[in-house]
Copies of this chain bind each other. A is one copy, B any other.
Amino acid sequence: GGGEVGKEIECGNILSEFKTTKVLSDSAREKNIFIHGKLADQDAVIILEKTPIREDTLAELFTGSTLKLEMKNDIYSTYRLQAPPQLNEIKTTVVCPATEKHIKKYQRQESFLVEETGADYQSITLPYIQKQSFSVQWVYNILEKKAEADRIVFEDPDPTVGFLLLPDFKWDQKQIDDLYLIAITLQRGIRSLRDLTQEHLPLLQNIFQKGKEAILQRYQLPASKLRVYLHYQPSYYHLHVHFTKLGYEAPGCGVERAHLLADVIQNLQSDPEYYKTRTLYFPLRVDDGLLSKYKEAGRL
């Protein structure tokens, strides 16, 4: 009723006050844009991304839109189609107040591939992570059901092998094509792949098995249509696993950053020290503080 209308009006006001400082990055391929600016004197980052075209709205789109002819040549013609706004929404994410770190995160940057030995991790990467003490309060809010509780798709409450499964922010959940869920471990203190040993096999196997089952049950998507992996480096240092639909080229699913959970499990089974001793490769952006550390160490 009135409350909802009020909320919508209030939301509308939020963006009309926004003053753009700088476009941080954009992608013509993905139809998104990352903007730094001010919202009522606070630094903010706004992310706009056009939404995928949904098959179930095509009929309405075809009848309810207007077409402007652009070009006609033989059997080919092109048009600009103007659709009813509710059939053509733009997914909008607001980070406010945004810190310097957020702004840097979304700034388009060149990347370099870093080679990190087990010793490099101990002497360069780990001290850097510890000194930064990146906040994972928002993860704890989720684990404690203080936020996003209504978004939980599956929960295993076991304190050792348990996890929550939620849609990733990037997924609008309107279609299965770009399905993207994250499993977040209840256990705290496992920072990344580098911390994993054989003692974590039950946790990893539990996430792999129950995550796949939950996705089959909720979205009717079988394991053979899933890409299940970890990132190294992760974007936050609380262990989490990515579930994306095979065929959807999710950002960060490239071989230089993603590690299949099935491979991680096999590697730990055959060598408990695999992720302590291996040289791992990952891309770092020019403005990443960790890259400076590798440069200082003469490693790049």
Contacts and interface: CB of A to CB of B under 8 A. Distances in A.
Interface of A: 7-8, 11-12, 14-16, 18, 20, 23, 26-33, 35, 48, 50-53, 55, 58-59, 61-63, 65-69, 71, 73-86, 88-98, 110-115, 137-138, 141-142, 147-148, 151, 169, 175, 177-178, 223-227, 229, 246-250, 253-256, 258-260, 262-263, 266, 270-271, 278-279, 281, 283, 300
Contacts of A115: 262
Contacts of A55: 23, 26, 33
Nearest to A108: B247
16 contacts: A11-B79, A15-B65, A16-B62, A28-B175, A29-B178, A29-B248, A30-B31, A33-B53, A48-B53, A66-B85, A76-B169, A80-B91, A82-B89, A113-B223, A253-B255, A260-B281
Given A14-B67, A279-B266, A86 B82 contact: yes
A92 B114 contact: no
Contact of A255 (B71, B89, B259, B283): B259
Contact of A92 (B16, B73, B80, B89): B80
B76 A94 contact: yes
Contacts of A68: 8, 11
A5 to B, nearest CB: 11
Contact of A67 (B15, B69, B77): B15
A73 B93 CA distance: 11
Given A28-B52, A76-B138, A115-B262, 20 more contacts: A8-B67, A11-B68, A16-B63, A27-B52, A28-B177, A31-B53, A66-B85, A71-B151, A74-B137, A75-B95, A78-B92, A84-B85, A85-B85, A227-B255, A246-B256, A249-B249, A253-B254, A255-B260, A262-B279, A271-B271
Contacts of A141: 73-74
Given A30-B30, A83-B88, A256 B260 contact: yes
Contacts of A73: 138, 141-142, 147-148
A249 B254 contact: yes
Taking each of A90, A262, A263, which has the highest tally of chain B beta carbons within 10 Å of its own beta carbon?
Answer: A90
A246 B283 contact: yes
